[in-house]
Amino acid sequence: MLMNKTESALINSPPRRWLQRWYEVPWLRRLGGSLPTGAGVLEIGCGPGYGTRLILEQFGAAHVDAIDLDPAMIARARRRLAPFGDRVRLEVGDAAALRTVADAGYDAVFDFAIIHHIPDWRSAVGEVARVLRPGGRFYFDEVTASALARPSYRRLFDHPVHDRFTADEFRIELERHGFEVGDRFLTRVSGDYFLGVAERR
């Protein structure tokens, strides 16, 4: 599901970049550590590419394939990430149907708050599991059904309204697809947000 104009502007704003750099990335690194040398990574819902840059710089990815449903976001990401050359490959794509991605092709997958935008979010989790090699890590931060139900969210943003997930439901779906989460899972702000790292068994 494409973001509306309000959320697209927010995704491209300095506060969003600050939140990714100084909150989300440090927590995800504490929970899952850096990546192994030579790691290949997939980022789903890359937006304007700022998270992709952090994956390269802060997690030590050797190469990142990044997809987004919105061609305008891919164009912005391409401009931002041009200095990284062939370490980044960008394309328009659907996280719930990664048709061009091979099984067990990545050492890590990153989700900077995109899966709650996907109507068939369970298929997206299944696709993440499919493309990760055994022992690969899924780094995620997400927004729960309770947050999406708040009047401010409903007024400002467009999100799917059916089959939204709680933190517990997301964790159960990860485990159903062969992920081990353990204690690398945190909820924040009255259960409205959560982040964690899951390992593919």
Distance CA 172, CA 169 (A): 5
For the stretch 4-47, pLDDT in tens is 888 898 888 999 999 999 999 999 999 999 999 999 999 999 99
pTM over 0.85: yes
Query: 């697209």: which residue's tokens?
Result: 8
Query: Nearest to residue 50, comparing CAs of 72, 27, 73, 32?
Result: 73
For the stretch 96-148, pLDDT in tens is 999 888 999 999 999 999 999 999 999 999 999 999 999 999 999 999 999 99
For the stretch 170-201, pLDDT in tens is 999 999 999 999 999 999 888 899 999 999 99
Q: Does the pLDDT at position 156 exceed 90?
A: no
Cα distances (angstroms) measured from residue 141 to each of 34, 117, 145, 193: 16, 13, 14, 7
CATH number at residue 81: 3.40.50.150
What range defines the domain where residue 78 resides? 5-200
Residues written for the chain: 201
> Structural domain tally of the chain?
1
